[in-house]
Structure 1
């Protein structure tokens, strides 16, 4: 199973919550391979070119559909070159800053950013990643400016904030849920329309002073579109069975993932197509573009 981001990314952490159980269900080992680079497009391109024999899976998220609108020379079509095998769930994002910045809420953070346009930096998991677009979209909604510092993974980006080397990051809940009590970092807002059940005390961005801002990510498993339907259906059944296991559900919840519902291949493909259209709107609003 290809994870197109490095350790600490949403895809990487989620993939490891069920890979062992999936292997048992399929009667074969499921190896999680990290292939990071260029906002997830390096590993995804390799997967797109892999044989459609059912042996190549991709743990994907919102960055997959965003890439189709960000890159002028992507090398693959996010929709046509992949088939959605199974929907895992959804994860909202969290906006965070280093504690040494001295801000305690999102309103103060935005005020500080506006007072020094372009003088602060934010880190992401790479150009075109969801962590890049989520922050760029936030800044456009807030009317603020920051410089982008692309890293190789969400874990690297969060570490830059923890060290105080950059002044902001947006990460899926899974990337920050373990730092709620860490004195080095301040969690400022949740990016969903409602507060996360995993962080009920954290206000939404809209509540905290940036109305109209919403950003979250689906998480799912894809395979090359050349994979025969019978094989895709087999994988869908196996994944849905594994994802319904109580222990897997609990692991996903511990990571801040709102799991389910189980989807058929057709329903997940419809979700991907709808998200691809929405991704185009988001990219246009953020003004981001990668040649």
Structure 2
């Protein structure tokens, strides 16, 4: 690099540094698209719309929700990964398309290269639930029923490569039972199938299950945390139900495309952290089983990578893949 080129680079860096505060102050200047990697009415949608409503007021621009649940959330994730790096397109996603699906199939995005984490929003267990017409009131009774009725059980998941899918495959392997996987695009159709008897059991977060459990159509058996979940203290864990070492979480978070200016990411992070501490948000989401997390972009990035590292050997051992 000659002297003139070096000077040009130096001037460019100075301009960029000087412009950074201005970017943060002027952004956003138009509506922001907020893509849900799940369908309307899903737990992710409820969470995302709660955040969107609060952000609209805090940012002074509309935060417009779009639901794109196709292909287990990977379509939504790919759209944001390929969007301009300006903060006007963001997504709320989950461990499926961010940590698990990249281990199961070839995708049109690289999570580490194409996306920038903003914040972890929530983390909560999946709940193992069964159709309430079955003579099953515990994990032990489910395993006994499955072994006595080989080939008769189907299970719903909220999508290929989701924690809902992987949790059941791990449980099947540890319990020595068999059940056919029936994937859906999100929790509403998966829960409906389990109520109607098309499938007999499901792992999902509490929010889409809650009303059906209260109505007596589903029966919750256990949660996937290592210890009892404080927001759902009456439910035993899979681990204490005879399968020590079983532990899994269903977490969510917000991302933008890689290359988005750091001041914009910092602004989003600060505003969403504040939203997650608002008393009405805490009360509403705690009541539905969401544990609100928050934190830094770096912590969310570490969570995404850590979950991939944790589940890669499990996926390999189970021989899972998505064609």
Q: Normalising to structure 1: TM-score of the pair?
A: 0.94
Match of 2:219 in 1: 186
Match of 1:21 in 2: 54
Match of 1:65 in 2: 99
Q: Is the 8 A contact 1:99 1:186 kept in 2?
A: yes
Match of 2:16 in 1: none
Separation of aligned partners in 2, 1:126 and 1:90 = 18
Matches within 5 A, 1:210-229: 210-229=243-262
Match of 2:181 in 1: 148
Off by >3 Å, runs of 4+ in structure 1: none
Separation of aligned partners in 1, 2:318 and 2:282 = 34
* Residues 186 and 118 (structure 1), Cα distance of their counterparts in 2 relative to 1, 3 Å cut: same
Count of residues in correspondence between the two structures: 289
Q: Is the 8 A contact 1:79 1:272 kept in 2?
A: no
Work out which structure has the larger RCO, using CA pairs closer than 8 Å and 6 or more positions apart in sequence. 1
Deviation, structure 1 residue 89: 2.2
Deviation, structure 1 residue 153: 1.5
Deviation, structure 1 residue 197: 2.4
Match of 1:290 in 2: 322
Deviation, structure 1 residue 117: 3.0
Match of 1:164 in 2: 197
- What secondary structure, in the 3-state scheme, does the structure 2 residue paired with 1:188 have? strand
Match of 2:11 in 1: none
The structure with the greater share of residues assigned to helix is 2
Separation of aligned partners in 2, 1:188 and 1:285 = 26
Separation of aligned partners in 1, 2:65 and 2:171 = 32
Match of 2:305 in 1: 273
Deviation, structure 1 residue 76: 0.6
Deviation, structure 1 residue 53: 0.9
* Residues 246 and 281 (structure 1), Cα distance of their counterparts in 2 relative to 1, 3 Å cut: farther
Deviation, structure 1 residue 58: 1.0
Q: Is the 8 A contact 1:120 1:146 kept in 2?
A: yes
Gaps of 5+ in 2: 1-33
Deviation, structure 1 residue 218: 2.0
Deviation, structure 1 residue 277: 1.2
Matches within 5 A, 1:94-113: 94-113=127-146
Deviation, structure 1 residue 280: 1.5
* Residues 151 and 190 (structure 1), Cα distance of their counterparts in 2 relative to 1, 3 Å cut: same
Match of 2:265 in 1: 232
1:264 counterpart = 2:296? yes
Deviation, structure 1 residue 144: 0.9
Q: Is the 8 A contact 1:8 1:153 kept in 2?
A: no
- What secondary structure, in the 3-state scheme, does the structure 1 residue paired with 2:244 have? coil
Deviation, structure 1 residue 179: 3.0
Separation of aligned partners in 1, 2:186 and 2:255 = 20
Bigger Rg over Cα? 2
- What secondary structure, in the 3-state scheme, does the structure 1 residue paired with 2:57 have? helix
Q: Normalising to structure 2: TM-score of the pair?
A: 0.85
